[in-house]
Structure 1
Amino acid sequence: MLEDFGYSHVFIKKSHHFYGAIAEDFLYEGDGILKDLEHQIERFAILDDNNIMDSIRLFYTFNANVIPVINKNEKYLGYITCDDIFQNFSRYPLFSESGAILTIETPARKYSMTEIANIVESNNSKFYGGFITFMSDEVIHVTIKISNENLSSIDATFDRYDYRIVEKYYSDEKSDLFKDRFGFFQKFIEI
């Protein structure tokens, strides 16, 4: 079954209640019955009334591509897969809208998602969403997705507010202009 569907775990239930999960690697260890693998059973699941975002931590922690869904009485209800999560996320503007992606750095004590969104929106651009991609006691990196309007003025405003742009995934008009001028300058020197 694991090979047919490509799942990382098999779920075990006893009288319709979730008992645990066994990773694919452990199923190939020996020839025997499930009772022999009882020490390899992992207990992880998501409750049916949890937010789908809660499952992401479980996918990562248990190196799984499938998560069991249970109710408060631990009755097994079904499962969700990584594909289910990707399909759900693809509906959100953060992922579905085209736009520019920036990763900015700010001191941890100064971090404010409200201020970041205000900087974008005060430059007549749309803020589609953002998330923290790195966090330490000193600095925080926030990756944001914004519409493609007024990108140079947004860059300049972030600079004025002491945010450092760590990465950007869009064509920067100012940078392109400098490259063109540098190219012209090199041609001038060659003459």
Structure 2
Amino acid sequence: MFIKDYISKDFPCFSLTDSIESARDTLEDFGYSHIFIKKSHHFYGAIAKEFLDEAEGTLKNLEHQIERFAILEDNNIMDSIRLFYTFNSNIIPVINKSEKYLGYIGCEDVFQDLSRYPLFSETGAMLTVETPVKKYSMTEIANIVESNNSKFYGAFISFMSDEVIHVTIKISNENLGSIDETFDRYDYRIVEKYYSDEKTDLFKDRFGFFQKFIEI
């Protein structure tokens, strides 16, 4: 799941001397949210599409709108998710340690890769349980699920404060009533749950988890 395994190279990196019109035309062709800028053979930053729509001249005129974000080629694909969310972008530039532009990764590529994993692909139940920070144990949460003969597909922390942690889990549909009772017996509070075994809900299920990851 390293970034270098997902790099696409078909999207150009512009120079400040290039025209805004050519950059705008490229964005229309690709449907991306940002263009990328290089300066002195190094990656310089990105400019959002909204700033290109009304401007004319060269990209130098928009230098004050440049945002600095990129991801290193040897990072993990999960490291890109916060960047997509923070910069409201559907494309992230990839650079090496010398800050040379290598290409990009797209949001759709990340989503497609993550959707292969049971956390997203398996139909099942979604639960969010609350536990005090001092009591938190992912091992115990998984054991509660598996001790009730249900499958534990994965989990992530969806909220954390100084006092409590919310853990969102994906499990199979077996023995859900018993799992609820066991969590209650071990002093976990179920704050959210969604049970479904309908195949038509699969895509919505995946997308919901992906959105929660982005918002962390």
Any unmatched runs of 5+ in structure 2?
A: 1-25, 197-216
Give, in whole Å, the separation in 2 of the partners of 1:138 and 1:72: 39
Question: Does 2:163 correspond to 1:142?
Answer: no
For residue 101 of structure 2, the aligned residue among 76, 99, 104 is 76
- TM-score relative to the length of structure 1: 0.84
Of 117, 121, 125, the residue aligned with 1:100 is 125
- For residues 85-119 of structure 1, give each alpha carbon's deviation from its aligned partner in whole angstroms, at most 9, with x where no partner exists: 11010111100111111111112221111111111
Please give the secondary structure, in 2, of the residue aligned with 1:144.
strand
Question: Does 1:128 find its partner at 2:143?
Answer: no
1:32-66 Cα deviation digits (max 9, x unpaired): 21111111111111111100000001111111110
Give the whole-Å Cα distance in 1 for the aligned partners of 2:149 and 2:61. 63
Q: Which residue of 1 aligns with 2:138?
A: 113
Query: Match of 1:184?
Result: none
Note if 1:162 corresponds to 2:187: yes
For 1:37, the equivalent position in structure 2 comes to 62
User: Where in structure 1 are there 5+ consecutive unaligned residues?
Assistant: 172-191
Q: Aligned-pair distance for 1:3?
A: 2.3
**Structure 2 residue matching 1:53: 3-state secondary structure:** helix
Q: Aligned to 2:38, which of 2, 8, 13?
A: 13
Amino acid at match of 1:51: N
> Which residue in 1 is equivalent to 2:86?
61
SS of aligned partner of 1:32: coil
Name the structure, 1 or 2, with higher relative contact order (CA <8 Å, separation 6+): 2
Q: Which amino acid aligns with 1:162?
A: D
CA–CA separation in structure 2 for the residues paired with 1:30 and 1:140: 47
The 4+ residue runs of structure 1 with deviation greater than 4 A are none
Cα deviation, residue 147, structure 1: 1.1
**SS in structure 1 of the partner of residue 35 of structure 2:** strand
What is the root-mean-square deviation in Å for CA atoms of aligned residues? 1.4
State the partner residue of 1:176.
none
TM-score when normalising by structure 2: 0.75
